[in-house]
Amino acid sequence: MKYVLTFVVLGIAALTLTGCNDITADSIRSDLPKDLHTPGETKGQVDNRVAFTSTVNLRNFNQDMLRFMLMDRPSRSIDYPSIGE
């Protein structure tokens, strides 16, 4: 009886570890999503992210260049107001 119980426990453990499904590498390869461009995004999502990032980078570059050329605000070197203030 002791051997039968051991055999049954080992058999259940073997079935649990190996599983009963028939997943093969070919079945996984044939079921891959075709619309993903990266592991988590579609091509449209990637294009939107790249366009948004490029737009923000160009706007920030433009703002940095205006600051570098001192064109972002009027000069404060005189005591009286100049034209347009």
Report the chain's mean pLDDT, rounded to a whole number.
Answer: 82
CB atoms within 10 A of CB 41: 14
Q: What is the pLDDT of residue 63?
A: 94
Tell me whether residue 83 is in a domain: no
Q: What is the pLDDT of residue 55?
A: 97
Tell me whether residue 81 is in a domain: no
Tell me whether residue 25 is in a domain: no
User: Domain tally for the chain?
Assistant: 1
CA distances to 13, 35, 40, 49 from 44, in Å: 46, 9, 12, 9
Ranges 30-34, 62-66, 70-74, most confident: 62-66
What's the half-sphere exposure (Cβ side, CA atoms, 13 Å) at 23? Answer: 7
Read off the pLDDT band of 18 (50, 70, 90). Answer: low
Tell me whether residue 56 is in a domain: yes
Structural domain containing residue 66: 35-73
- pTM of this structure: 0.50
CB atoms within 10 A of CB 13: 10
CB 49 within 8 A of CB 56: no
Q: What is the pLDDT of residue 19?
A: 61
Tell me whether residue 47 is in a domain: yes
